[in-house]
């Protein structure tokens, strides 16, 4: 029987106690895979921006580093993982934005955030492929913790970069929209 395959996109995460394959495509974004080797539970997220969501605007918090990591850890714990056994792998963070200096590269900022976060939370980073100038296609097996990474030639990365730019525009527009407020309910 073939394994269940899940593709996650910007701001999404997925975890499973059942054997499954989680896939994602990364440019400057970073994906973190968590695995509990004893319970054989795995999960992955897709982080779009470093930092924290502005929860006053309810703007898709899983796109932001701190929120995405907390949601991923909580998903693992909900599925029955033991926090003390969590192992991490991190991928992405490529410098794919033309005309932006390396120190202002969002991929580098997300990568730095992820490695710092994992260290502070005492979650061991067992493998990573961060930085460079090529995007990555990541395939993660939830039951074994194995991750396979294929680098994307820079000619194809422009498509990934374009998708990330469109997502950034959508995120900024969503932040600017006022939220709906109901003061009275006629019922």
Greater confidence (174 vs 73) lies with: 73
Q: What's the total number of domains in the chain?
A: 1
Which is catalytic among the residues 29, 44, 49, 53? 29
Q: Is residue 146 part of a domain?
A: yes
The backbone torsions φ and ψ at residue 51, rounded to the nearest 5 degrees and listed phi first, read 90, -155
Does residue 41 contact residue 15 with C-beta atoms inside 8 Å?
A: yes
Best-predicted range by mean pLDDT (62-66, 86-90, 110-114): 86-90
Q: Give the tens place of pLDDT for each residue, 4-41.
A: 999 999 889 999 999 999 999 999 999 999 999 999 99
Q: Is residue 78 part of a domain?
A: yes
Q: Which tokens is 53 given?
A: 């969501």
Q: Is residue 123 part of a domain?
A: yes
Q: HSE of 42 in the Cβ direction (CA atoms, 13 Å)?
A: 24
Residue with tokens 């701190």: 66
Burial of 139 (0-12, 13-18, 19+ CB in 10 A): middle
Q: Which tokens is 48 given?
A: 């779009």
> What's the Cα-to-Cα distance from 126 to each of 67, 118, 123, 145, rounded to whole Å?
22, 11, 9, 10
Q: Which tokens is 184 given?
A: 């009275």
Domain CATH number, residue 74: 3.30.1330.200
Residues β-bridged to residue 42: 16, 35
Q: Is residue 183 part of a domain?
A: no
What percent of the chain shows pLDDT beyond 70? 81
Q: Is residue 75 part of a domain?
A: yes
Q: Can you give the pLDDT at residue 181? A: 59
Q: Give the tens place of pLDDT for each residue, 71-91.
A: 999 999 999 999 999 999 999
Could you tell me the residue range of the domain that residue 20 belongs to? Answer: 4-176
Q: Is residue 132 part of a domain?
A: yes
Q: Is residue 184 part of a domain?
A: no
Greater confidence (78 vs 181) lies with: 78
Q: Can you give the pLDDT at residue 143? A: 96
Q: Is residue 138 part of a domain?
A: yes
Question: Is 128 a known active-site residue?
Answer: no
Q: Can you give the pLDDT at residue 147? A: 98
Tell me if the pTM is above 0.95: no
């Amino acid at each position: 029987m073939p394994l269940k395959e899940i593709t996650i996109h910007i701001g999404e995460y997925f975890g499973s106690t059942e054997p499954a394959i989680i896939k994602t495509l990364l440019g400057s974004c970073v994906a973190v895979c968590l695995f509990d080797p004893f319970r054989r539970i795995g999960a992955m997220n897709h982080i779009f921006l470093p930092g924290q969501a502005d929860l006053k605007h309810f703007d898709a918090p899983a796109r932001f580093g701190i929120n995405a990591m907390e949601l991923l850890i909580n998903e693992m714990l909900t599925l029955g993982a033991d926090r003390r056994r969590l192992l991490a792998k991190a991928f992405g963070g490529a410098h794919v934005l033309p005309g932006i200096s390396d120190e202002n590269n969002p991929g580098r900022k997300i990568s730095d955030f992820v490695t710092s976060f994992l260290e502070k939370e005492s979650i061991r980073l067992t493998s990573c492929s961060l930085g460079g100038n090529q995007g990555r296609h990541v395939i993660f097996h939830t039951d074994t913790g194995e991750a396979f990474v294929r680098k994307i030639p820079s000619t194809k990365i422009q498509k990934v970069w374009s998708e990330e730019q469109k997502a950034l525009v959508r995120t900024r527009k969503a932040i600017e929209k006022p939220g709906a407020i109901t003061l009275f309910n006629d019922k």
